């Protein structure tokens, strides 16, 4: 059959159209948006941000306005709002929609105007974070970003990261950098692990020995625990209350709430080295130099509760947030079982065993916290022997503790070792720096199911969200914290923010790769193991 000439042309045209269409699809840049917004349209047109751009906001959004202006100045080296032109502006606007999620936001834009709207300053802040993720890295003088239409909101309200500053101590400058990393990924909770057997890291005015004695250990384990080797170099450090206030203010500006953790009744050897009178044996002891679980714990005496009340009151006066973490994990019962005082107390209080004594301890502490109108959080061991009436449970030994607590109508934060322990290996141990053990690669974190299927709809409402934990026995430097936390925290951030139906690992990886220039520019020592 012979094809007519004009028919041939037609086929050719269709072929070219097909090629052009595909080239366009292929050429579409991957935007480094993590967590990925719920609804997003990226247009062809561009908006140029330059010194002449006006950024406008009502007085209630003064802090967010300042944040955006100084972000542009610090990262792109120019000052905005230098002219009164009205055809190039960014508007931050609060809507009066009291029903909407306070962290939700919308962005609408065209080449003349970008509008970020939300019902609450935190939503505006997240809109700004999305905008910032669209900024090109390392461009100065003026920048161009695509005109986007975005409608976005988080899936979970608790999106957290933890950092252990007891096993190793990290300077305030790094804590701020860590908070910046959280904010960039729209995480809103920083769990600051401030005390443990190996060091007490926060100034308490009424008990100066906590830091004078409790913040310094005589040595540290070398290599892995199984090697049982130590150095004898004094190791210490603590945060003054003045420094803590500075960090709190810094975090508030980034809509990050800080949850301080003061460990009790176990993981308290540093405190007991300073004040041995609060242990059952009352024998002098030293700040631990080895990792693991110690048998020396707080004694449930009235003197101990008076001491803990004083300490917690200083903590609660300092930290404005609603939640106080009291630890509660890994409490060996030997000391209590061998103590005549504890046996007598158990009789008086009609406590059947040491687990119930632990529960008695935690309930007493919860009363101290409730007096100040705050809410107590504890690791899942606080379920043993009966849960304190209003306690929030952090489920770390799997999700079972969280499931049990949710079924009892208690709020839960999921942090199972299987998916949320960023001190575990993220690649083959042979090619990774020494870590505690475990294997939690990036993809596994990305596949984390925050809310277990076994919970029904009502019970599921008690799952507030999840948190990544960075325990630092094997993490000596800030760079190493970054390596272990990133990019796993980016994966967890997306798990917590984006709808599960929209998640796609390959797509996440592509967006993560397009974020590398930003991470390098910010000198974040992220791991490339999974990239
Ligand atoms: C268990 S998680 C602990 C920590 C350790 C961690 C190491 C938890 C509540 N307790 O004291 O640092 O394992 O992965």
CB-based contact 311:204 (threshold 8 Å): yes
For 59, the 3-state DSSP assignment is helix
**Residue 186's pLDDT is what?**
98
* For the CA of 397, the nearest atom of ligand 1: 2
DSSP string, 442-482: HHHHHT--SS-TTS-HHHHTTEEEEEEB---TT--SHHHHH
**Residue 72's pLDDT is what?**
97
* For the CA of 330, the nearest atom of ligand 1: 10
* For the CA of 196, the nearest atom of ligand 1: 11
Angle at 27 between CA 26 and CA 31, to 5 degrees: 100
Q: Does residue 396's CB lie within 6 angstroms of at least one atom of ligand 1?
A: yes
The CATH class of the 29-152 domain is alpha beta
Cα end-to-end span (Å), the chain = 53
**Residue 370's pLDDT is what?**
98
pLDDT tens per residue, range 486-531: 999 999 999 999 998 889 999 999 999 999 999 999 999 999 999 9
Q: Does residue 421's CB lie within 6 angstroms of at least one atom of ligand 1?
A: yes
Q: Does residue 329's CB lie within 6 angstroms of at least one atom of ligand 1?
A: yes
* For the CA of 423, the nearest atom of ligand 1: 14
Higher pLDDT, 369 or 9: 369
Q: Model's pTM, two decimal places? A: 0.94
Distance 314 CA to ligand 1 centre (A): 25
Q: Does residue 125's CB lie within 6 angstroms of at least one atom of ligand 1?
A: no
User: Atom 13 (ligand 1): residue with closest C-alpha?
Assistant: 471
Answer yes or no: is pLDDT of 5 > 70: no
> Helices 172-184 and 241-253: crossing angle, nearest 10°?
20
Q: Tell me where in the chain the CATH 3.30.379.10 domain(s) lie.
A: 29-152
Give the alpha-carbon dihedral of 402, 386, 278, 298, to 10 degrees. -40
Distance 329 CA to ligand 1 centre (A): 8
Answer yes or no: is pLDDT of 163 > 60: yes
Ligand 1 pocket mutation pick from 471, 472, 484, 485 by most atoms within 8 angstroms of CB: 471
**Residue 28's pLDDT is what?**
67
DSSP, res 381: G
Answer yes or no: is pLDDT of 12 > 80: no
pLDDT tens per residue, range 332-341: 999 999 999 9
Distance 468 CA to ligand 1 centre (A): 12
pLDDT tens per residue, range 262-280: 999 999 999 999 999 999 9
**pLDDT, mean of residues 454-470:** 98
**Residue 4's pLDDT is what?**
63
DSSP, res 433: -
**pLDDT, mean of residues 225-238:** 97
DSSP, res 30: P
* For the CA of 415, the nearest atom of ligand 1: 2
**pLDDT, mean of residues 394-400:** 97
C-alpha to C-alpha distance for 353 and 528, rounded to whole angstroms: 49
Size of the chain in residues: 531
Distance 332 CA to ligand 1 centre (A): 14
Distance 62 CA to ligand 1 centre (A): 40
* For the CA of 164, the nearest atom of ligand 1: 12
Q: Does residue 423's CB lie within 6 angstroms of at least one atom of ligand 1?
A: yes
**Residue 97's pLDDT is what?**
78
The residues annotated as belonging to the active site are 196, 267, 330
Distance 375 CA to ligand 1 centre (A): 22
pLDDT tens per residue, range 59-86: 999 999 999 999 999 999 999 988 877 8
Q: Does residue 397's CB lie within 6 angstroms of at least one atom of ligand 1?
A: no
User: Atom 9 (ligand 1): residue with closest C-alpha?
Assistant: 329
Furthest CA-CA distance within the chain? 106
User: Atom 14 (ligand 1): residue with closest C-alpha?
Assistant: 471
**Residue 227's pLDDT is what?**
96
Q: What percentage of the chain exceeds 70 in pLDDT? A: 95
Distance 60 CA to ligand 1 centre (A): 41
pLDDT tens per residue, range 31-51: 999 999 999 999 999 999 999
pLDDT tens per residue, range 78-116: 999 888 778 999 999 999 877 789 999 999 999 999 999
User: Atom 7 (ligand 1): residue with closest C-alpha?
Assistant: 471
Q: Does residue 56's CB lie within 6 angstroms of at least one atom of ligand 1?
A: no
How does the average pLDDT of the chain come out, rounded? 95
Answer yes or no: is pLDDT of 9 > 80: no
Q: Does residue 361's CB lie within 6 angstroms of at least one atom of ligand 1?
A: no
**Which architecture characterizes domain 158-521 according to CATH?**
Alpha-Beta Barrel (3.20)
Burial of 439 (0-12, 13-18, 19+ CB in 10 A): middle
pLDDT tens per residue, range 405-445: 999 999 999 999 999 999 999 999 999 999 999 999 999 99
Band (17; pLDDT cuts 50, 70, 90): low
For 39, the 3-state DSSP assignment is strand
Ligand 1 pocket mutation pick from 168, 265, 330, 418 by most atoms within 8 angstroms of CB: 330
Q: Tell me where in the chain the CATH 3.20.20.80 domain(s) lie.
A: 158-521
CB-based contact 482:526 (threshold 8 Å): yes
Band (11; pLDDT cuts 50, 70, 90): low
Angle at 181 between CA 175 and CA 184, to 5 degrees: 145
Long-range contacts, stretch 349-357, CB < 8 angstroms, 24+ apart: 351/385, 353/385, 355/384, 355/385, 356/385, 356/386, 357/300, 357/333, 357/385
């Amino acid at each position: 059959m012979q094809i007519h000439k004009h028919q041939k042309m037609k086929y050719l045209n269709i072929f070219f159209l097909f090629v052009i269409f595909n080239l366009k699809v292929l050429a579409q840049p991957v935007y480094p948006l993590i967590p990925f917004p719920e609804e997003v349209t990226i247009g062809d047109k561009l908006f140029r941000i330059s010194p002449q751009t006006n950024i406008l906001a009502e007085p209630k959004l003064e802090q967010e306005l300042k944040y955006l202006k100084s972000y542009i100045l610090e990262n792109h080296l120019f000052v905005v709002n230098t002219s009164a032109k009205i055809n190039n502006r960014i508007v931050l606007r609060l809507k009066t929609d009291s029903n909407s999620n306070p962290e939700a936001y919308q962005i609408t834009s065209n080449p003349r105007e970008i509008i970020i709207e939300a019902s609450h300053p935190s939503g505006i802040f997240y809109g700004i974070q999305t905008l910032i993720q669209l900024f090109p890295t390392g461009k100065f003088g003026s920048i161009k970003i695509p005109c986007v239409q975005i409608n976005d909101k988080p899936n979970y309200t608790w999106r957290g990261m933890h950092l252990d500053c007891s096993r190793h101590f990290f300077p305030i400058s790094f804590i701020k950098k860590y908070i910046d990393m959280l904010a960039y990924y729209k995480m809103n909770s920083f769990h600051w692990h401030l005390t443990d057997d190996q060091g007490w890291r926060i100034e308490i005015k009424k008990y100066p020995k906590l830091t004078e004695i409790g913040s310094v250990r005589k040595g540290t384990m070398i290599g892995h625990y199984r090697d049982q080797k130590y150095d004898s170099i004094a190791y210490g450090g603590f945060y003054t209350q003045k420094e803590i206030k500075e960090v709190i203010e810094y975090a508030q500006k980034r809509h990050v709430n800080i949850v301080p953790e003061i460990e009790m009744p176990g993981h308290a050897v540093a405190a007991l080295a300073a004040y041995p009178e609060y242990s059952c044996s009352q024998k002098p002891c030293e700040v631990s130099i080895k990792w693991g679980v110690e048998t020396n714990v707080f004694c449930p005496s009235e003197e101990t509760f008076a001491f803990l009340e004083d300490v917690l009151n200083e903590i609660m006066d300092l930290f404005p947030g609603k939640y106080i973490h009291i630890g509660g994990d890994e409490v060996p019962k030997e000391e209590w079982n061998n103590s005549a005082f504890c046996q007598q107390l158990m009789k008086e209080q009609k406590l059947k065993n040491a687990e119930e004594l632990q529960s008695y301890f935690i309930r007493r502490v919860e009363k101290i916290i409730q007096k100040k109108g705050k809410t107590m959080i504890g690791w899942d061991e606080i379920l043993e022997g009966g849960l304190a009436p209003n306690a929030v449970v952090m489920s770390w030994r799997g999700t079972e503790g969280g499931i049990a607590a949710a079924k009892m109508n208690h709020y839960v934060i999921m942090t199972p070792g299987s998916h949320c322990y960023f001190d575990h290996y993220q690649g083959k141990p042979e090619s990774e720096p020494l870590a505690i053990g475990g294997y939690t690669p990036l993809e596994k974190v990305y596949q984390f199911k925050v809310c277990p299927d076994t919970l029904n709809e009502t019970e599921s409402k008690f799952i507030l969200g999840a948190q990544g934990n960075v325990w630092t026995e094997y993490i000596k430097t800030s760079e190493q914290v970054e390596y272990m936390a990133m990019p796993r925290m980016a994966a967890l951030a997306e798990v917590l923010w984006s709808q599960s139906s929209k998640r796609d690992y390959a797509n996440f990886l592509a967006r993560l790769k397009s974020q590398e220039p930003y991470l390098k520019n910010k000198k974040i020592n992220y791991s490339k193991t999974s990239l």
